[in-house]
Chain A
């Protein structure tokens, strides 16, 4: 089991939703999709790399062969996948504190959803419905989502600065260079394996090494 790959945590949650309420959830997601302002709260949660919600109607689980038994379900199911930085608690709590109303809107029609406030029942609900990941891959284990976003700004600023200022007279160069550093001060920072989840990362590595030898 490995929910962690470097600085990223993989969350998988599957929750039942009454089949006759699926259309409402789909409508809510569609509105959120077409009106980006509704996702403002999510954007403030800058610890997220990518997240998604998938609704599986109760008769839509993939069936590939006549011999495969047909699912016979009372409920449709909503899958939630997220890739975020930091610990489980930090993530779940930041959702509750930053976008409690949005969270309730997305999960409202799920069976026995306790609402995002207070925290303890919400924690219980997520834990109860969470599935551990067997293999998790992250293309940049040392980078947080904020690093990816800031790196894009650094790259552009460096290329622009090199084109405009690198051949100036030394004093003018230094003036521009200091301005570059000033402009990029929120974007710079050395990336290393994170200390926050290093114990978890260590455990993941240890477990992995065990699977390679047994």
Chain B
């Protein structure tokens, strides 16, 4: 399946947002503002969702009209007809498309199975907004079509799957280890680099003793601690 690459999974979700406004603000703009105001890095609610490598949210307002000139074989051919009539010239232009709904797009790259991940998304997503209110996942999807029927985790999983699109090609240029494994490895790389620099030129006994103390401190086999935490943005 193209949405998997080893243990890494690509989730693509397009959730239609209700047309209409609340006061003077459209539901799409309200959703956009909520996404924009989400805390970043270690404070992002996604840092609490287990096994999220990288994820994003944005609003698809519309599709674009291909107005730029280009080396496009089909249209270059049809451009020839424009010599003969103006209607032929117009027909040779790209068609104009517009979406009838705006979509909340959620794209995530994560470790593991979809159901486990979506359960984590429902259970763990939480943050305090700029007004001091505690928010869960429903706050972001609140204005999406038919989301008012979602009342529990099973309903959320079902809803997201209705909005899910399969990837035709998923390219994994990183690793497909669990996030805990990746973060521990990064922590070890960071700490061992510092160790190597700090112990240059010392005697064999000094380095050996220091190395043993280093291993006792960093505990390479202990994935949970000490380690980097998800979204950690400063050393």
Contact = CB atoms under 8 A, between A and B. Distances in A.
B57 interface: yes
A191 interface: yes
Nearest to A108: B73
B233 interface: yes
Nearest to B184: A155
B166 interface: yes
A133 B46 CA distance: 15
A159 B188 CA distance: 10
Contacts of A52: 10, 12, 107, 167, 169-171
A108 to B, nearest CB: 8
B120 interface: no
Given A73-B97, A112-B68, A128-B64, A147 B58 contact: no
B175 A174 contact: no
Given A12-B58, A52-B170, A154 B192 contact: yes
A131 B57 CA distance: 11
Contact of B211 (A154, A166, A192, A208): A166
A84 to B, nearest CB: 8
A61 B231 CA distance: 32
A143 B187 CA distance: 10
Contact of B196 (A10, A74, A188): A188
A106 B168 CA distance: 11
A157 to B, nearest CB: 9
Interface in B195-235: 196, 203-205, 207-208, 211-212, 215, 220-221, 228, 230-235
Given A62-B15, A128-B64, A208-B40, 4 more contacts: A5-B40, A140-B231, A148-B185, A173-B208
Interface of B: 2, 8, 10, 12, 14-16, 19, 32, 35-41, 44, 46-47, 52-60, 63-64, 66-72, 74-75, 94-97, 99-101, 103, 105, 107, 109, 130, 144-146, 159, 162-163, 165-175, 177, 179, 182-186, 188-190, 192-194, 196, 203-205, 207-208, 211-212, 215, 220-221, 228, 230-235
28 contacts: A12-B107, A42-B171, A48-B171, A48-B173, A50-B53, A50-B172, A50-B174, A53-B167, A62-B14, A64-B163, A112-B68, A131-B60, A135-B57, A135-B58, A136-B54, A139-B54, A148-B175, A148-B182, A148-B185, A149-B175, A150-B189, A158-B192, A170-B205, A188-B192, A190-B190, A190-B194, A193-B233, A208-B40
